[in-house]
Amino acid sequence: MTTESGKKSRLIEEMKAQSGQDPNSCYQCGKCSAACPVTAALDLMPHQVIRYLQLGLEDELAESKTPWICASCFTCAARCPRDIDLARMMEGIRLSVLRCREGNKFGPADLTPEQLEKLPQQALVSGFRKYNK
Minimum Å gap between C-beta 12 and ligand SF4 is 16
Residues 69-108: x where in contact with ligand SF4 by CB under 6 A, - otherwise, as a string? -xxxxxxx--xxxx-x-xx--x------------------
Of 90, 86, 94, nearest to 35 (Cα)? Answer: 86
Of 52, 56, 131, 123, nearest to 95 (Cα)? Answer: 131
> How far is Cα 90 from Cα 107, in angstroms, rounded to an integer?
24
- Applying CB under 6 A, which part among 12-20, 46-54, 103-111, 121-129 lies near ligand SF4? 46-54
Check binding of 11 to ligand SF4 (CB under 6 A).
no
Report how many helices (DSSP H) and strands (DSSP E) the chain contains, helices first.
10, 0
**Contact of 47 with 32, CB cutoff 8 Å:** yes
Q: Which is nearer to ligand SF4, 64 or 75 (CB)?
A: 75
**Alpha-carbon 15 to chain mean position:** 6
Check binding of 28 to ligand SF4 (CB under 6 A).
yes
Residues that bind ligand SF4 (CB under 6 A): 26-32, 35-36, 38, 46-47, 50, 70-76, 79-82, 84, 86-87, 90
